[in-house]
A and B are shown apart, each in its own frame.
Chain A
Amino acid sequence: MLPLSLRFLAREWRAGEIRVLLLAVALAVASLTAVAFFGDRVKQALGREANTLLAADLAIASDHPLAYDFAEEARQRGLQVSSSAAFLSMAQTGKKNLLAGIKGVDAGYPLRGSLRVAPAPFAEDAPTRALPGPGQVWLDSRAASELGVRVGGEVELGAARFMVAAILTFEGERGGNFMALAPRVLLTAADLNKTGLVQEGSRVSYRLLIAGADQDVADFRDWCEPLLARGEKLEDVRDARPELRQILDKARRYLGLAAVLTVVLAAAATHMALRRYVQRHFDQYALMRCFGASQRRLLSLYFLQLAGLGLAAGLLGTALGWVTQLALANLLGGVLRLGLPAASWQPFGLGILAGVALILAFALPPLLRLARVPTLRVLRRDLGPVAGGAWLAHLVGLALVAGLIWWQAGETRLALIVSGGVLGVMALAAALIQAVLWPLARLARHLPPGPRLGLLGLRQRGWETTLQAMALSLGLLALLLLTLVRGDLLDAWRNQVPEGAPNRFVINIQPRQVAPVQAWLASHEVPNVMLYPMIRARLTAIEGRAVRLEDYPEGRARNLAEREFNLSELSTLPPSNELEAGHWWWPGQTSGFTVESGIAKTLNIHLGDKLDFDVGGLPLSGHVSSLRKVEWDSFRVNFFVATPPGAMSAMPKSYITSFHLPPQRGAVLADLVAAFPNLTVIDVAQMLNELRGLTDRVSQAVQLVFLFSLGVGVLVMLAALYSRRAERAREIGLWRTLGASKRTLRAALASEFALLGLLAGLVAAGAASVLAWVLANKVFDLPHTPDPWIWLFGLGGGMLLVLLAGWFATRDLLDEPPLMALRME
């Protein structure tokens, strides 16, 4: 059976019968794998980029020196290893002391990304691969200013003295939550030992840093996970930097969406091509039945042929996809400013599997249709397959495609939404054809001959027209949906770190300095800054129950329960805050709390709970009257807990403010500190730049994948229109034989394609609007702005695209001599 089917396949290939099918499926697979390959590489690159902010690919964090020698194992596996140990301790100069975050690092730190240093606070900085030398430390500008020490000065840490060698301006590991972190002092691990600060019982947070090839890191992760003891945990960038995780997750989802929609396009193209293939085999099937082949034998023969074809298409498509992404990466690597790592092998498997699955999924129903072709067709060519449901086969096909979608989506919700959308579009397209096209065709006799022929042709082909409209609608849906979601995504990223976002924070402003500082800033072209009071307090009881550490086994909750809060007084809900439960202050309300919903959840605080704080020995209590959702990555001044204005008027407090200062005006800060020596300035410009750089790159990657999918969508639609070429040629030949002029035929084709495009555009625009909204809300968690232009794009673009593609697919047929066309099979 196999040799015979291979022989038949070879014959069909020579005859050119299956080339269109092979090409359609190979193209579909190529698009799928190109997106997969490219997406995979971009994802890896972005992951690596993000890892610079973790300083590694993987970290093992612990609150004690690691019991097991993970580092040795990692080195033996060829991975890069470094480590850090950080804790809070006093740093001293002759005059001042400061509770600082001391961090000792090993050679090679950071394994990903680099530190940046400057010769003086607020001076221009540069990346460095070096670490502080023996007897040296690097301070961040906050530590330097609070200790009142300059580069070249001395700092005392425990039992040792160190020379300040540079100002540390960027340290990827610190993340966005800088307010929680103490001023930084960085030195080498060897020097850290000299301080004698790390002793039995010291609260030190250790991190073993690992970097290497993705697979090696993943293997290492799998290996060490079961060996971790209590208080040891694995961290990758997702755990360590939630704000980056959000960006990467959204990018990953977008790539997933592009891949899923490519699957849908591929499915539509394969379906069109296979229908045509099977129709062209009605005669062959009947003839072979007539020659005595059993139904089972013939179906097996076709099945094997198609499976072989699927394999060939899978291989060809995967190769094509690989070359395409290679070209794409070469072309765009520079634009992306990302070193793209080599593609993984997974897309190869995906491509080959997709080729076979696509063909088999769509071959099954028409193959069973073939089985219904009566053998009598050899005598009566008008006999087609006996009508009847191949429901099971259709279901199997749909299930296969659904499986492919689910696999590509990477998450059930996205897969379900897209699948639902696709089914909806198909139903809508079919319904619209019934509701619009058929009645319209009834009016055809009032039209000039060209459009009349076009309309009647559409109606005459009935189910074929419906199918074509479905395929075109799906193609357009993919294009429009990717456009809409891309828009939402880019807007969100642009807004995440908006131009002019606050990049300097000033703290320690004393109550009597509020007006002078405001005036000083205004006179230095930094107008309208808001100053918020900040009161340090410790949470002592919730609903009358004392807050005890042992009640919170989870690390984050423990940290929060233990540390001091910065309370504030707020009169209005600040920007980047959103009320989630309860109400904002009643007029005249003087007690109560508004609590950030994340911390409320962690510490198990509910609306209406009574909270007790200890503010430097003074009690402060009240009930929680609202819960707020805070965008922590907005880089504004935000507070976990706040009271109404006046509730803490008797408490000792200082003020905090934030503002945006263009990089070239950094010197203003030095002047500010000179004018008000007690102020502390925190500079987050570099961190913002890093984050903005990341979103920029992710945006570019998303744009590219979008453009690529767009191109593939157009190609696939073209393939769908090409699949009816032979019938079209015969039709045109017949019309021309019956005396239709080229002009009439051109008008007929134009009106047919325009109408199909218009209809498909209408369905696609409607569906894309709804789906974009659903995706933004349910999958991407993005604010969605409805885009009325999508209707113009859908209708106008759909019409234009189908017209163009149709013209391209039929342009030479009008010039064929009618006899040739009539003889075309």
Chain B
Amino acid sequence: MVGEAPALASNGPLSNNKRQKTFMRIDIENLGKSVQVGEDALHILADVSFSVNPGESVAIVGSSGSGKSTLLGLIAGLDVPSFGRVLLDGENLFDLDEDGRAALRGRGMGFVFQSFQLLPGLTALENVMLPLELAGQANAAEVARGHLEQVGLGERVRHRPAQLSGGEQQRVALARAFAVAPRILLADEPTGNLDVHTGAQIIELLFELNRAQGATLVVVTHDPALAALCQRQLRLEAGRVVAN
């Protein structure tokens, strides 16, 4: 079912992308998130601080419930912290309102999820087009098709997610994430729903695309193989950074 990970074409649509690209720096300062459970406050993240340099790749590892996904959600501005700041190129994400954060995501962030998050009713092509269309890109179909060719799915653009294997679905998700030429790529357990072999192919493709495209990469993962490929690993335990 899963084909070989394709080699990247050097003159694909990525190189045609006219957007001025710069890597983005991430600074996390004293970030904390608590939720109220009955009488007690449950601390999911407590006083987390670290930085990610422009163009760097960082893996966030840790056991289930250690707060990895919460941290990723906060870096993406999908949730608000109880305290602390997230600075993207020195600008505090939480000085912006919800729509401001959304606009910022639209301008510079790509996402890859554990559960792929493809819309079941749309074809592979339409799924990749979605963020481009929302950004108002005129040649969305063309760009999306190019990215699907990049991930080796040029022949399957009309297929719906249910007609694709898990590995293929995640490749569509990778094409979608890179289609917007992100400055930061946030990946939440990208191999979590895949077998080892397919997972390995996805990892290879992810890093190849990232190298070609150049983005600051933050990956939440359980997968030691994936973590090992990142330049740096950050270990979370019970909401705190225990190793950096």
Interface string of B138-165 (1 = CB under 8 A from A): 0000000000000000000000101000
Is there an interface contact between A15 and B78, defined as CB atoms closer than 8 Å? no
Stretch among B22-30, B69-77, B82-90, B234-242 lining the A interface:
B69-77
Is there an interface contact between B121 and A17, defined as CB atoms closer than 8 Å? yes
Chain A residues with CB below 8 A from B111, complex form: 290-291, 378
Chain A residues with CB below 8 A from B73, complex form: 376, 379-380
Chain B residues with CB below 8 A from A374, complex form: 78-79
Nearest CB on B from A683, distance (A): 74
Q: Does B37 contact A (CB under 8 A)?
A: no
Chain A residues with CB below 8 A from B43, complex form: none
- Given known contacts A290-B111, A294-B103, is B135 in contact with A825 (CB within 8 Å)? no
User: What is the bound-complex CA distance between A294 and B117, given in angstroms?
Assistant: 19
Stretch among A280-288, A553-561, A711-719 lining the B interface:
A280-288
Is there an interface contact between A292 and B131, defined as CB atoms closer than 8 Å? yes
Q: Does A293 contact B (CB under 8 A)?
A: yes
Nearest CB on A from B19, distance (A): 14
Nearest CB on A from B226, distance (A): 17
Interface residues of B in 71-114 (CB under 8 A from A): 72-73, 76, 78-79, 98-99, 102-107, 109, 111, 113
Interface string of A292-303 (1 = CB under 8 A from B): 111111000000
User: What is the bound-complex CA distance between A17 and B160, given in angstroms?
Assistant: 13
User: What is the bound-complex CA distance between A4 and B103, given in angstroms?
Assistant: 18
Select the residue from A15, A293, A379 with max chain B CB neighbours within 10 A.
Answer: A379
Is there an interface contact between B103 and A291, defined as CB atoms closer than 8 Å? no
- Given known contacts A15-B122, A294-B103, A380-B69, is B130 in contact with A288 (CB within 8 Å)? yes
Chain B residues with CB below 8 A from A378, complex form: 78, 111, 113, 117
Chain A residues with CB below 8 A from B107, complex form: 292
User: What is the bound-complex CA distance between A16 and B103, given in angstroms?
Assistant: 30
Chain B residues with CB below 8 A from A295, complex form: 98-99, 102
Interface residues of A in 306-360 (CB under 8 A from B): none
Is there an interface contact between B121 and A16, defined as CB atoms closer than 8 Å? yes
Chain A residues with CB below 8 A from B131, complex form: 291-292
Is there an interface contact between B79 and A293, defined as CB atoms closer than 8 Å? no
User: What is the bound-complex CA distance between A296 and B98, given in angstroms?
Assistant: 11
Chain B residues with CB below 8 A from A290, complex form: 76, 78, 102, 105, 111
Is there an interface contact between B115 and A289, defined as CB atoms closer than 8 Å? no
Minimum CB distance partner of B118 in chain A: A287
Interface string of A180-211 (1 = CB under 8 A from B): 00000000000000000000000000000000
Nearest CB on A from B174, distance (A): 15
User: What is the bound-complex CA distance between A77 and B174, given in angstroms?
Assistant: 73
Q: Select which of B69, B122, B180 is within 8 A of A379 by beta carbon.
A: B69
Is there an interface contact between B105 and A292, defined as CB atoms closer than 8 Å? yes
User: What is the bound-complex CA distance between A376 and B44, given in angstroms?
Assistant: 15
Interface string of B57-78 (1 = CB under 8 A from A): 0000000000001001100101
User: What is the bound-complex CA distance between A265 and B99, given in angstroms?
Assistant: 39
User: What is the bound-complex CA distance between A291 and B122, given in angstroms?
Assistant: 16
- Given known contacts A376-B78, A378-B113, is B121 in contact with A292 (CB within 8 Å)? no
Chain B residues with CB below 8 A from A297, complex form: 134
Chain B residues with CB below 8 A from A284, complex form: 119
Q: Does B120 contact A (CB under 8 A)?
A: yes
Minimum CB distance partner of B162 in chain A: A823
Interface residues of A in 4-43 (CB under 8 A from B): 4, 7, 11-12, 14-17
Nearest CB on B from A573, distance (A): 73
Interface residues of B in 165-224 (CB under 8 A from A): 180, 188
Q: Does A375 contact B (CB under 8 A)?
A: yes
Interface string of A811-825 (1 = CB under 8 A from B): 000000000000101
Minimum CB distance partner of A17 in chain B: B121
User: What is the bound-complex CA distance between A593 and B109, given in angstroms?
Assistant: 95
Chain A residues with CB below 8 A from B109, complex form: 292
- Given known contacts A296-B99, A379-B73, is B117 in contact with A291 (CB within 8 Å)? no
User: What is the bound-complex CA distance between A284 and B121, given in angstroms?
Assistant: 10
Nearest CB on B from A105, distance (A): 71
Q: Does A230 contact B (CB under 8 A)?
A: no
- Given known contacts A374-B79, A376-B73, A380-B69, is B115 in contact with A293 (CB within 8 Å)? no
Chain A residues with CB below 8 A from B119, complex form: 283-284, 287
Q: Does B126 contact A (CB under 8 A)?
A: yes
Q: Does A381 contact B (CB under 8 A)?
A: yes
User: What is the bound-complex CA distance between A379 and B104, given in angstroms?
Assistant: 18
Q: A294-B99, A376-B78 are in contact. List 9 more A-B contacts (CB 8 A).
A: A290-B76, A290-B105, A292-B109, A292-B135, A295-B98, A295-B102, A375-B98, A381-B115, A825-B120
Query: What are 8 residue pairs bridging A and B, where the CB atoms are less than 8 Å apart in the complex?
Result: A16-B121, A287-B119, A290-B78, A292-B102, A292-B131, A293-B102, A823-B162, A825-B120
